Amino acid sequence: MPGISEDDIRRVREASDLVAIAGERVQLRQRGRDFWGCCPFHNEKSPSFKIDPTTQLWHCFGCGEGGDVFSFVMKIDDLGFVDAVRELARRAGIQISEAPGERISRGKKARLKEVCEATAEFYHTQLMRGRGDQVDAARSYLSSRKLGGDVPKRWNLGYAPGRESLIYRLRSLGFTPQEMIDANVALPSKRDGRLRDRFYDRIMFPIRDAEGDTIAFGGRVVGKGEPKYLNSQETPVFHKSEVLFGLDMAKATMAATGVAIVVEGYTDVIVLHEAGVKNAVATLGTALTLRHIRALSRHAKNRIVYLFDGDEAGQRAADRAARFVDESMLPEAGRSRVELYAVTLPDDLDPADFVQQRGADALQELLEHAVPLLRYAIDRTLSRHDLSDFADRSRALPECLSLLAAIKQSVLAQEYAGYIADRLQMDTQTVVERLAATPAPRSMQDREEEPATPMPQQQTAVQLSPRERERLRIEREFLSLCAREPQLGMGYAAVLAQTQWRRSAHADIAAALLAYLSENAQASAGDVVRGVEELRPGSASTLTFASTYDDFEPAEVAQFLAEELAIRDMEDSVVALNVQLKDPSSMSQEDYDLTYAAVVSMQKDLTALRREHKPLGAIN
């Protein structure tokens, strides 16, 4: 082979594991001796791409392509053979020797990287030496964000003046119009086809791949204008779903610490690095994808932490991230496991503002309290529901289980099923059975193509346990009795106000009943029902509920029902506190001790209440 010796080629081939290299681009599953996945070279949903780890050969039974590690890298990265050898040698840390002066074809991708590198140098020169009001405004903006001084030099920040100045520069360096268009730094005018600069009057952030080669750009408008941020479009060397801003700068610290931090913006990454948090990267105007996770896991072996902004956009990104959990993130994956964690910044701050206002130490403390991504997603799902309402609690269950559907056969999914059961105060076996019946997503591709925001849930029949149905009957009995016996109802005003009503409608009726009785203490039962109906439309059916205790005195029934509600509320409170005690890491030692003492005290009170509570009759 001209330029590279056969001995060097052999050494590179022997040092390159095809399974590991292909596994960064393809989700592989081992079947017997071989590894299988969906072919990266044509669209398919059923795996037909096979790697034999013994022979280090690959073959796709769908499109017929195949070969060794060199052919895989050549095809997936659009490289010539020599460039593929160079890339694999760099990856393996092998120094290869090439004949001096030998001209070797570098391939289209290498040429586009040269265009991007020359563009970055031009933009940087304009920022550092340019004159005029607009470039002055660009420098002032960077200084206001504490990105002045030596920061632009370290990050090769730039300024795009537009007016075809970049095109003139690139032409002088020998680049063709088509190469500029393919690198997406220039565009043909729709009006006359004349070539023009893609970026105009913007602060430029060079986007580099993991090896440090410039492959794209992000531009922030100076002053007012839309869009505020403009990224390069997809090119042969730039794919947003795979590239992370700052990875070339962060990978060494990731390797040293075992931890990667993912944020959402260019300036967030730069500010964090300048503050000493040097293992941060950012997505590029796109949601987190499985390919991002794979890229990070090459460098951060212990943990990937998603640092989400507190605003709604940040939370939507958090919801989407949870859908990319798969088998590689489970305990069963062993040493290759990728652990995903998440944390939300408080007070709607973004990472740059947080660090500048509160310091890097405060951020590190937050990161230390990050929670596993699945736990984070489940808690966020539960937070959107009123868990004191039995019906809303039942609606929360299928949403939570959908987060586990892709891994429902795993030990981790079974553990989280127990966690969900605790939070929803449901029987664990029931939740496990519901999880088993939850359909798994068809493929990772389907999950990546889902919209970033949750689809509206269809209303489904609410499934309540016998105990929950009994509790709701007791609530209706008590509310109806207080309406039929207004004087008795006033005597139990504290119960109406303090009960943890398990249907939101019952809580609203209790509040309306209290409000009406406080102003109309002498009203008749009919007036009470009509008055509360005016305050809370739809309450009449509950307040005229047919009692099952007509054979007993109203006062005796009221005492019995009030005690039943108090006992059941206390039982639920004890269960909820015990759930907290199962996760001592989520609270300080002082809070844990206080919670434990509260449970002990409530258990004593509960025992006393049960002992004093006299049965009145069975509830049908």
Same domain, 290 and 371: yes
539-564 tens-digit pLDDT: 998 998 888 888 889 999 999 999 99
Query: Per-residue confidence at 582, pLDDT binned at 50, 70, 90?
Result: confident
Query: Per-residue confidence at 456, pLDDT binned at 50, 70, 90?
Result: very low
Q: What is the average pLDDT across 2-30?
A: 84
Query: Per-residue confidence at 135, pLDDT binned at 50, 70, 90?
Result: very high
CB burial class (10 A; 0-12, 13-18, 19+) of residue 229? Answer: middle
Name beta bridge partners: 37: 49
What is the chain's mean pLDDT, rounded? 84
Query: Per-residue confidence at 457, pLDDT binned at 50, 70, 90?
Result: very low
Rounded to whole angstroms, the Cα distance separating 284 from 243 reads 7
Rounded to whole angstroms, the Cα distance separating 170 from 168 reads 6
59 pLDDT above the threshold of 80: yes
Same domain, 78 and 159: no
Q: What is the average pLDDT across 146-160?
A: 92
Query: Per-residue confidence at 332, pLDDT binned at 50, 70, 90?
Result: low
Q: What integer pLDDT is reported at residue 442 of this predicted model? A: 56
Q: What is the average pLDDT across 100-120?
A: 74
Q: Residue 159: phi, psi to the nearest 5?
A: -140, 130
**Helices and strands in the chain: count of H runs, count of E runs:** 28, 16
Q: Which residue, 503, 500, 505, 478, is CA-closest to 489?
A: 478
Q: Give me the DSSP letters along 35-59.
A: EEE--TTS--SS--EEEETTTTEEE
271 pLDDT above the threshold of 50: yes
Same domain, 419 and 493: no
Rounded to whole angstroms, the Cα distance separating 141 from 133 reads 12
Domain CATH for 485: 1.10.860
Rounded to whole angstroms, the Cα distance separating 266 from 151 reads 13
Domain of 329, in residue numbers: 247-378
Q: What is the average pLDDT across 59-80?
A: 86
Q: What integer pLDDT is reported at residue 548 of this predicted model? A: 84
Residues 6 or more apart whose CB falls under 8 angstroms from that of 361 comprise none
Rounded to whole angstroms, the Cα distance separating 593 from 580 reads 11
Domain CATH for 85: 3.90.580.10
105 pLDDT above the threshold of 80: no
Query: Per-residue confidence at 102, pLDDT binned at 50, 70, 90?
Result: very low
Q: Kind of pairing, strands 229-231 and 49-52?
A: unpaired
Q: What is the average pLDDT across 180-202?
A: 90
Query: Per-residue confidence at 224, pLDDT binned at 50, 70, 90?
Result: confident
Q: What integer pLDDT is reported at residue 315 of this predicted model? A: 67
Q: What integer pLDDT is reported at residue 293 of this predicted model? A: 80
Number of folded domains in the chain? 5
Rounded to whole angstroms, the Cα distance separating 86 from 83 reads 5
470-491 tens-digit pLDDT: 999 999 999 999 999 998 999 9
Of 207, 231, 255, which closes a domain?
A: 231
Where does 258-301 have alpha helices with state H? 266-274, 290-297
Of 34, 60, 92, which closes a domain?
A: 92
Domain CATH for 253: 3.40.1360.10
Helix (H, G, I), strand (E, B) or coil at 158: strand
Q: Which residue, 410, 406, 430, 407, is CA-closest to 420?
A: 430
Rounded to whole angstroms, the Cα distance separating 308 from 351 reads 8
Same domain, 482 and 589: yes
Same domain, 429 and 529: no
Question: What tokens were used for 335?
Answer: 């040493």
Helix (H, G, I), strand (E, B) or coil at 108: helix
295-309 tens-digit pLDDT: 888 788 788 998 877
Q: What integer pLDDT is reported at residue 318 of this predicted model? A: 66
Same domain, 509 and 584: yes
Q: Which of 143-152, 319-328, 521-530, 532-541 has the lowest mean pLDDT?
A: 319-328
Side chain identity at 456, as an amino acid letter? P
Q: What integer pLDDT is reported at residue 321 of this predicted model? A: 65
Same domain, 392 and 373: no
Q: Kind of pairing, strands 259-263 and 303-308?
A: parallel
Residue 447 forms part of a structural domain: no
Q: Residue 521 CA to chain centroid, in angstroms? A: 53
CB burial class (10 A; 0-12, 13-18, 19+) of residue 15? Answer: middle
Residue 448 forms part of a structural domain: no
Same domain, 193 and 315: no
Residue 456 forms part of a structural domain: no
Rounded to whole angstroms, the Cα distance separating 199 from 479 reads 67
Residue 502 forms part of a structural domain: yes
Can you give the pTM of this predicted structure? 0.68
Percentage, residues of the chain above pLDDT 90: 33
Same domain, 320 and 389: no
Maximum Cα interatomic distance, the chain, rounded to a whole number of Å: 107
361 pLDDT above the threshold of 60: yes
